[in-house]
Amino acid sequence: MDPFLRTQCLNIFEDELKTPLGCAVIESLKSYGENVYMAFPIEKLRQNLEKNVYNSVDSFASDIKNSVKNSTRLFGAETEESLGLQTICHNILQNLSHLSNSGSGSILDSLEKISLILEGVLSDISDSHEEFINKIHTKMAKPTIRRDNTNVDISIFAENEIDLSELHEILKNPPTDKAIVDIVDILMHYELNYSSKDDELTIDLSNCEPYTVALLKKYVQENSLTPDPTDVKKENKSSE
């Protein structure tokens, strides 16, 4: 690789690792021990740049992507560690894109894909080292309740203060078209059981990941959504 490009790549890489998020991710990986820390081989990537192992900007970008993929497999796709590493990778690729001669080639393609993955979750990742460390060590409990589409007697998901009964009532009949689109987007993005090919979605909260349930709860709160009063009247009338 051209010495100028190599220096630029090294600077971009080092600068991203020095950000608050970069420092928090590194500290988190170190806390798991050397074997897990090596899942994202920072020293190897740094040494390869210094020794000019990469023949192009694209080859360096590809090595970073593969390293992040390995880490994601190890930690799980939706863990704070993986999201932090994906964010770092996203930022590095974004800064590398203007150095690449590939135009709409691999770097920009990768940037677009990672941007789609990160959409909607970046706001949940704190730049605060302390907040990040505290969050990754706070494990979200899995729901213990089961849910079918006729039983409305749902208990409270106490660990996260989520009343699944109320949440289900809101989700089954969103008040606006925009709310419908947003809710479907969340399900499509985080739940493998739902796809854009489904003509009609049947929301089964007991089969959703806790992270998805938390995002749905957050969306409902931020948009002040409430159950349809006509549904409540119908249920009260039927119970009389």
- pLDDT tens figures, 177-216: 788 888 888 877 777 666 545 455 666 777 777 777 888 8
73: Cβ contacts below 8 Å, ≥ 6 apart:
none
Partners of 162 in the β-ladder: 157
| Upper half-sphere CA count for residue 19 (Cβ side, 13 Å) | 19
Q: What is the pLDDT of residues 106-135, one digit of tens each?
A: 555 555 566 666 665 555 666 666 766 666
Residue 229 lies inside a defined structural domain of this protein: yes
Among 136, 171, 206, the domain-final residue is 136
User: Tokens at residue 132, please?
Assistant: 């990040």
Q: Is the pLDDT of residue 15 over 80?
A: yes
Q: Is the pLDDT of residue 217 over 80?
A: yes
Q: What is the pLDDT of residues 55-80, one digit of tens each?
A: 888 888 889 888 888 888 777 777 88
Q: What is the pLDDT of residues 220-233, one digit of tens each?
A: 888 888 876 665 44
What angle (nearest 5°) sits at the alpha carbon of residue 185, between those of residues 180 and 189? 155
Distance CA 86, CA 82 (A): 6
- Specify whether 126 is located in the same domain as 168: no
Rg of the chain on CA atoms, in Å: 22
Residue 148 lies inside a defined structural domain of this protein: no
Residue 169 lies inside a defined structural domain of this protein: yes
For the chain, the average pLDDT equals: 71
Residue 223 lies inside a defined structural domain of this protein: yes
**Can you give the pTM of this predicted structure?**
0.43
Residue 215 lies inside a defined structural domain of this protein: yes
- Specify whether 165 is located in the same domain as 128: no
| Number of folded domains that form the chain | 2
- C-alpha distances (whole Å) from 23 to each of 27, 66, 80 are 6, 21, 14
The domain of 225 spans 156-239
Which CATH number do you get for residue 110? 1.20.920
230: Cβ contacts below 8 Å, ≥ 6 apart:
none
* DSSP per residue, the chain: --HHHHHHHHHHHHHHHTSHHHHHHHHHHHHT-HHHHTTS-HHHHHHHHHTT--SSHHHHHHHHHHHHHHHHHHH-TTSHHHHHHHHHHHHHHHHHGGG-S-TTSHHHHHHHHHHHHHTTTGGGS-S-HHHHHHHHTSPPPPP-----SS-----EEGGGTEEHHHHHHHHTS-SSHHHHHHHHHHHHHH-TT--TT-SS----GGGS-HHHHHHHHHHHHHTT----HHHHHHHHHHH-
User: Tokens at residue 148, please?
Assistant: 């079918």
The phi and psi torsions of 216 (rounded to 5 degrees) equal: -65, -40
Contact between residue 9 and residue 95 where contact means Cβ atoms under 8 Å apart: no
> Alpha-carbon torsion 111, 114, 119, 122, what sign?
negative
